């Protein structure tokens, strides 16, 4: 009896002083089942906590801001936002954190350690939870459903952001330009467009980025890695999620445009495209160039404009050596060398290098002519053809005008 308990468990008594260790030696059966989702848990306490996910109850309320929390541990972390306490400091860069686990994850940025590997595509991650979310890309699982429209999401954070669309709620306001955002992380990302902060540098070309994830995507330009393939046309992409490249590309084949402008009725493939379009109606241009004062509707437009002052062209074509200011411009240029034409007309099968070319081509089949001449009323399928036609009325010769306006012509 000195070595066992009741003759049933043969684990030494010395281990009984460490019940957690004993627990790991004998994993408990998951006998407590959730009536909502049928998930099974090992003890009644865990089940009680799990049920709160379905009821929406958040028993821990912050007295400073009124925000509710499901777990006491999350509430304790949140309090540090108000107190400003960040006791855990990175010895490499001096950045401070509220939790030791956050510091441990941050250190992997410096060490490059990514211990969790995906069996499907070989991609590695710093956290097991991130790997679990990544695996849903391969399985297609989207367990978080919107109660309003039934749309599924890979993680709860994405669902929370989506719910704001239905509530039309944007609680986070930028103090610089008064623009509103759905989440605090979106606001933090936006603020860097004002400060110009880009802490993550590419070791290959020394280009800097606002976020570590953006740097990881950029590195694929140098490695040529494109792990995500479209099942329709086999075009490959560097990334995929509910927000980016591959899923967006698939809508080219389905012609799905779920986001509609309430002002003019125009539809878009992506919510971000709709947001950019709305600026046409509002006239808002929140992004200002510090060099010349020129204003822009998007941060990306401002970034491209800044290159006109610096003259920087970091993206070089490996075939002909031509340099570009943007990676997307370089990628489009490369298609000239490869002959790639990924955009196919479903009517006649003709292929195009760019999506815009395909969109213009479609009007040939629809027999619609959108662009009308204000002089004679004649209609044309593209704006370029209309512009050439207008010159017949004005008598303008575009080639002659270009030569006469050249500074070298005397």
| Residue carrying structure tokens 């006491």 | 72
Residue pLDDT, tens place only, 18-57 = 344 444 445 567 778 888 888 888 888 888 878 888 887 8
369, 358 contact by CB (below 8 A)? no
Residues β-bridged to residue 371: 380
The pLDDT tens digits for 115-142 are 888 888 888 888 888 888 888 878 778 8
Query: Poorest-confidence range of 63-67, 94-98, 366-370?
Result: 366-370
Under a CB-based contact definition with an 8 Å cutoff, are residues 142 and 154 in contact? yes
Write the CB contacts of 218 (distance below 8 Å, at least 6 apart in sequence): 202, 207, 209, 327
Could you tell me the pTM of the whole model?
0.32
Picking from 67, 84, 101, the residue at the C-terminal end of a domain is 84
Q: Residue 159's CB: how many other CB atoms inside 10 A?
A: 19
94 pLDDT above the threshold of 70: yes
Report yes or no on 384 lying in a domain.
yes
Encode pLDDT of 159-204 as tens digits: 877 777 776 667 788 888 878 877 777 788 788 778 777 878 888 8
Q: Compute the half-sphere exposure of residue 160: CA atoms within 13 Å on the CB side of its CA.
A: 12
Residue 170 lies in a domain: no
User: Using an 8 Å Cβ cutoff, are 234 and 246 in contact?
Assistant: no
Handedness of CA 261, 267, 269, 273 (dihedral sign): negative
182 neighbors 167 (Cβ within 8 angstroms): no
pLDDT of residue 16: 35
Q: Give CB contacts under 8 A, 24+ apart, made by 315-322.
A: 315/221
Position 393 in a domain: yes
Element (H, E) at 181: strand 180-181
Does 392 fall in a domain? yes
8-state DSSP, 236:
E
Answer yes or no: is pLDDT of 235 > 50.
Answer: yes
Task: Summarize pLDDT for 295-311 with one digit per residue, the tens.
Answer: 887 777 888 788 888 88
Domain that holds residue 80: 56-84
Band (pLDDT 50/70/90 cuts) for residue 325 is confident
Q: Is the pLDDT of residue 110 over 80?
A: yes
Q: Exposed, middle or buried, 25 (CB in 10 Å: 0-12/13-18/19+)?
A: exposed
Query: Rounded to whole angstroms, how far apart are CA atoms 51 and 54?
Result: 6
Minimum mean pLDDT range among 208-217, 249-258, 318-327, 388-397: 249-258
Q: Is residue 169 part of a domain?
A: no
Residue carrying the six token digits 């004062």? 293
Half-sphere exposure of 84 (CA within 13 A, CB side): 0
Of residues 182 and 349, more confidently modeled: 349
Residue 135 lies in a domain: no
Q: What pLDDT shows up at residue 397?
A: 58
Distances (CA, A) of 230 to 207, 235, 236, 249, 287: 29, 5, 6, 8, 35
CA 299 to chain centre: 15
Domain membership of residue 242 (yes or no) is: no
Q: What is the mean pLDDT of the chain?
A: 76
Q: Which pLDDT does position 283 carry in this prediction?
A: 81
pLDDT band at 402 (very low <50, low <70, confident <90, very high): very low
Q: Which of 20-24, 93-97, 328-332, 386-390 shows the lowest per-residue confidence on average (mean pLDDT)?
A: 20-24
Q: 241 in a domain, yes or no?
A: no
Res 393: pLDDT: 81
DSSP letter at 13 equals: G
Kindly report the CATH number assigned to the domain that includes residue 73. 3.30.160
> Is the confidence at residue 6, as pLDDT, over 70?
no
The count of structural domains within the chain is 2
Judged by DSSP in three states, 260 sits in strand
């Amino acid at each position: 009896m000195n070595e066992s308990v009741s003759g049933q468990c043969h684990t030494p008594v010395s281990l009984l002083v460490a019940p957690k260790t004993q627990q790991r030696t004998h994993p408990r059966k998951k006998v407590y089942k959730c009536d909502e989702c049928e998930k099974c848990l090992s003890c009644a306490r865990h089940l009680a906590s799990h049920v709160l996910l379905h009821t929406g109850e958040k028993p821990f309320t912050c007295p400073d801001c009124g925000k509710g929390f499901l777990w006491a541990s999350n509430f304790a972390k949140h309090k540090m936002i108000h107190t400003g306490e960040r006791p855990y400091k990175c010895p490499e860069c001096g950045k401070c954190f509220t939790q030791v686990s956050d510091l441990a994850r941050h250190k992997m940025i410096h060490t490059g350690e990514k211990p969790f590997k995906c069996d499907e595509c070989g991609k590695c991650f710093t956290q097991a939870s991130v790997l679990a979310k990544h695996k849903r890309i391969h399985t297609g699982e989207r367990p978080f459903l919107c109660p309003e429209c039934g749309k599924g999401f890979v993680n709860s954070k994405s669902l929370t952001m989506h719910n704001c669309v239905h509530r039309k709620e944007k609680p986070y306001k930028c103090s610089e330009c008064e623009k509103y955002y759905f989440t605090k992380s979106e606001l933090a990302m936006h603020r860097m467009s004002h400060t110009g902060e880009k802490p993550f540098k590419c070791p290959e070309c020394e280009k800097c980025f606002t976020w570590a994830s953006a740097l990881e995507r950029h590195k694929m330009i140098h490695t040529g890695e494109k792990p995500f393939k479209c099942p329709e046309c086999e075009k490959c992409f560097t990334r995929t999620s509910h927000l980016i490249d591959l899923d967006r590309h698939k809508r080219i084949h389905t012609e799905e445009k779920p986001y509609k402008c309430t002002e003019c009725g125009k539809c878009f493939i992506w919510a971000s495209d709709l947001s950019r379009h709305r600026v046409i109606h509002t006239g808002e241009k929140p992004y200002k160039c510090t060099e010349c004062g020129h204003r822009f509707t998007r941060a990306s437009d401002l970034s491209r404009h800044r290159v006109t002052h610096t003259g920087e062209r970091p993206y070089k074509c490996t075939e002909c050596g031509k340099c570009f200011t943007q990676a997307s411009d370089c990628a489009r240029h490369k298609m000239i060398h490869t002959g790639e034409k990924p955009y196919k007309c479903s009517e006649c099968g003709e292929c195009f290098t760019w999506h815009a070319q395909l969109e213009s081509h479609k009007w040939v089949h629809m027999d619609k002519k959108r662009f009308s001449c204000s002089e004679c009323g004649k209609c044309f399928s593209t704006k370029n053809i209309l512009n050439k036609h207008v010159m017949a009325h004005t008598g303008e010769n575009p080639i002659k005008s270009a030569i006469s306006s050249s500074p070298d012509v005397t």
